[in-house]
Amino acid sequence: MVDRNGWDRDGTAPTGTTHDPPASFVEQANVSDPGIYEAFEADWPSCWTRAADLLSWDEPYDTVLEDADAPFYRWFPDGRLNAAYNCLDRHLESGRKNHAAIRWEGKQGERRTYTYRDLYVEVNEFAAALRDLGVEEDDVVTIYLPMIPELPIAMLACARIGAPHSVVFAGLSADALATRMDAADSEFLVTCDGYYRRGDAFNQKSKADNARLALEQDVRTVVVDRLGDDLPHVLGDDEYDYHELRDAFAGATVEPVSRDAEDMLFLMYTSGTTGEPKGVVHSTGGYLAHVAWTSHAVLDVKPADTYWCAADIGWITGHSYIVYGPLALGTTTVMYEGTPDYPDRDRLWEIVDRNAVDVFYTAPTAIRAFMKWGEEYPTEHDLSSLRLLGSVGEPISPRPWNWYRDHVGGGDCPVVDTWWQTETGAVTISTLPGVDEMKPGSAGPPLPGIDANVVDEAGDPVEPGRTGYLTIDRPWPGMAQTLYDNDERFVTEYWQRFSDPAADDWRYFSGDTARIDEDGYITVLGRVDDVINVSGHRLGTMEVESAITDVDGVAEAAVVGRSSPAGDTEIYAYVSTESGREPGDRIREAIRENVAAAIGPIASPTELVFTPELPKTRSGKIMRRLLEDVANGESLGDTSALRNPEIVGEIQAEVGDES
Ligand code: PRX
């Protein structure tokens, strides 16, 4: 019997479902030697100098890893460097000053290109301005900006003067901003007057104002004028206009501050849909080495490329793979403001076409939307420049994986399904596109040097094909150093469960469940908190969802657990269909059959509710918790974090009809 990933029950992948990287890709790949896995093992942890060697160090390190105070590991601890120097100055020094660093595509059709020289000039000017405002080394600067070039500029300006940044996703509320600034004791804020959402001016400054009102500390605030005359703003006390500051510091240069490798580069609060937001702290040296290395080895980025990660810089993907990784390697990184369907559903393909993008990296939620809209949108454009595609953020099941490869990648682009987290800093599980065969639906083996495992409750490795917990049993350079101001929670959240401190045996627990096949390929199933226990069977909601979305005509699905009056957990599925596909008994039947075939009849949803859309957070994550409350007939909490709150009432009505 074969499951949704094309594996049979003993965990072996049958032939016919895998793809080798094309020879033309392997020939030019940054990493193409299959011996790399063994080479890393034979020389661990010194192997990580390969990553560190991609950087320029002010002070070379002697020690690669110091583990005396595990799980507070220290990478390259006696080395010194500056992240902005690595992303800017050194490319000027190597004669690349006129090479495009950032190509920005604005929401209103605006375009701006910054060469490395342009970026260097603006970062220096803003660094000088920040210093003049009183920002000192180690002060946390909060940045609350949409996808405009001033966002990476502000990040790099902070990095230049050794001030850690805390970027808060622009779509989050005033309360969320205030909570984060309060938690980080941040006294500096960079924001803007507003931004455009589907053509309408949207006020960002009023959210920033409300956050400041809620804070005890005084906050010096820099405001970028994004809207021109569309939204006049008056600056109050402690507020400064970004463009005036730049004029005041025109031509200023600031010596990059040499930082200890273990000094904090930034903190990033995780999305916070559950519990208190966690301030994940990242280092300067280990983090930058790991993002540069994975940009090189996994995303195959080359300086001459035009590379595009279509994420938001407000989350970790954008930090690592729009800003730090690509700029450290001196490539051209594209950033875009807006949504993939405005002004039309071909927006992304138009950008790929016009910029001749070589490498494209996005999330499964976007890929499923493209699939739903239909292949005519990518087909309208010349996408032949694409050499490699990437996916990140959620499991991607074989159907959208293949659709992505066929309709965006022209049938011959390798696809890397990269697993990682805010806490891992950079990719930790993925195929190497110039080395490994691809198995749609499986992220791949742990990267060289990464010791990821799938274990049972006792921490022992599970048999191939069985579900277990995803752990990482050795440290890695991009790992979080701690949670801001909360070492204790860092240990309890991530290390306690599978470590044995008495034996000095430390294992990181990712919070995800996964399976591993006989070739060591890992399929990540979903968060542990999304696991449903049905009659003693442990099922990943995402696993069931994947089986549903693999059905022809299905666009997206969310599965939650519902408690029956008898106390059993039943599976409740919310499903949206592709445009033009009527929900109905045929599709309902096909879903039940596919779920039964992929996982077993036990996973077949007790209830199936069709809805035009699923409720999502502004960062695109499906709000399963809310759907769980709807299924269980519980009162709903705050829905203000949703991108589409209006859908909730419709779903409630539908659920009411069903039950
Ligand atoms: O559940 C995993 C899922 O996203 C979680 C991390 O979310 P976040 O910290 O927001 O970072 C997202 C971008 C790195 C993981 O615990 N996840 C991420 N990538 C994958 C994935 N699940 C399956 N496959 C992936 N490739």
Query: Per this entry, what is the length of the chain?
Result: 659
CB-based contact 454:506 (threshold 8 Å): no
ipTM, 2 decimals?
1.00
Q: Which of 16, 20, 5, 6 is nearest to 414 (CA)?
A: 20
Put simply, whether the predicted model's pTM sits higher than 0.90 gets the answer no
Å from CA of 421 to ligand 1 middle: 5
CB-based contact 121:87 (threshold 8 Å): no
Question: Residue 425 has which token pair?
Answer: 């800093």
Å from CA of 314 to ligand 1 middle: 15
User: Is the confidence at residue 362, as pLDDT, over 70?
Assistant: yes
End-to-end CA distance of the chain: 34
User: Is the confidence at residue 625, as pLDDT, over 80?
Assistant: no
Q: Which are the contacts of 547, defined by CB distance < 8 A and separation ≥ 6?
A: 4, 397, 594, 595, 597, 598, 599, 603
CB-based contact 414:389 (threshold 8 Å): yes
Q: Which are the contacts of 652, defined by CB distance < 8 A and separation ≥ 6?
A: 630
| Dihedral class, residue 94 (left if φ above 0, else alpha if ψ from -120 to 50, else beta) | alpha
Which own/partner contact pairs does 20-25 have at CB distance under 8 Å and 24+ positions apart? 20/437, 20/438, 21/414, 21/433, 21/434, 21/435, 21/436, 21/437, 21/438, 22/412, 22/414, 25/387, 25/388, 25/413, 25/414, 25/433, 25/434
Å from CA of 213 to ligand 1 middle: 34
Query: What is the pLDDT, as a whole number, of residue 14?
Result: 41
Lowest mean pLDDT, pick from 192-196, 209-213, 524-528: 524-528
Å from CA of 615 to ligand 1 middle: 19
Interval 45-70 mean pLDDT = 98
Å from CA of 309 to ligand 1 middle: 15
> What does the pLDDT look like over 71-92, one tens digit per residue?
999 999 999 999 999 999 999 9
d(CA 114, CA 37): 37
Name residues contacting ligand 1 (CB within 6 A). Answer: 270-271, 316-317, 392-395, 417-422, 443, 510-512, 524, 526-527
Interval 264-289 mean pLDDT = 82
Listed ranges 201-210, 354-363, 396-405; the one with the highest mean pLDDT: 354-363
| Closest atom of ligand 1 relative to the 420 alpha carbon | 14
Query: What is the pLDDT, as a whole number, of residue 533?
Result: 60
Confidence of residue 655 (pLDDT cuts 50, 70, 90): confident
Exposure of 98 by Cβ count < 10 A (0-12 exposed, 13-18 middle, 19+ buried)? exposed
Instruction: From 419, 422, 430, 469, give the residue whose CB has the most ligand 1 atoms within 8 Å, as the site to mutate.
Output: 419
> What does the pLDDT look like over 320-336, one tens digit per residue?
999 999 999 999 999 99
Query: What is the pLDDT, as a whole number, of residue 13?
Result: 45
| Closest atom of ligand 1 relative to the 320 alpha carbon | 14
